[in-house]
Amino acid sequence: MDHLWTPWRYQYISQAAPTAGCIFCVKGAENRDAENYILHRGKFNFILLNLFPYTVGHMMIAPYQHVPTLEQSSEDVLAEMMRLAQRAEMNLRATYRPDGLNIGLNIGSSAGAGVAGHIHMHVVPRWQGDANFMTTVGETRVMPEELDTTYRKLVKMAWTEREGKRQKAKGKRQK
């Protein structure tokens, strides 16, 4: 049953079982990155997998700072958030070959934010027909990959420019 997912269920879970405090603050402060599916820690933001992915590889970029709007975020936070989004795009393309990606933020609960007090950017890989698929099987979606597998694949990718250069150099040497 873990493989079945619906957006309604996600809403239910986030409303029925609120974590003590804010999940982004809690996970950001904890020292359990693998258990929390944290893929990368930047200086101002971190990247983690969504526990209820819309598609395989669905991740979120959140600042360490608890702020509800972009307006209240600093220049540094915003600049790094976009750089990490760029890395997320590159790494998802390299790993899953999606046809496209949705990248965006839901600001406020009426806009669909699950955790409205703490901004987080969603990065969702998309494939031709993935939205139709859900209606086909009746409001449920079969996730073709375990979250642990997704994590193992993505955590080893280059999440900074420096890591990217190192990987490229390593690749060249192997040839």
Out of 10, 25, 51, 105, point to the residue binding Zn ion (CB under 5 A): 25
- CB nearer to Zn ion: pick between 21 and 100: 21
- Among candidate residues 40, 58, 118, 120, the one labeled active-site is 120
Are 160 and 43 within 8 A, CB to CB?
Answer: no
* Binding-site size, Zn ion (CB under 5 A): 5
Only segment of 18-26, 51-59, 71-79, 141-149 that touches Zn ion (CB under 5 A)? 18-26
Out of 6, 22, 78, 147, point to the residue binding Zn ion (CB under 5 A): 22
What span, in angstroms and rounded, lies between the C-alpha atoms of 89 and 57? Answer: 10
What span, in angstroms and rounded, lies between the C-alpha atoms of 11 and 106? Answer: 14
* Contacts (CB under 5 A) with Zn ion, residues 69-128: 118
Residue 34 burial (10 A CB sphere; 0-12, 13-18, 19+): exposed
Q: Quote the tokens at residue 88.
A: 């997320």
Q: Which residues bind Zn ion (CB under 5 A)?
A: 22, 24-25, 66, 118
Q: Would you name the residues annotated as active-site residues?
A: 120
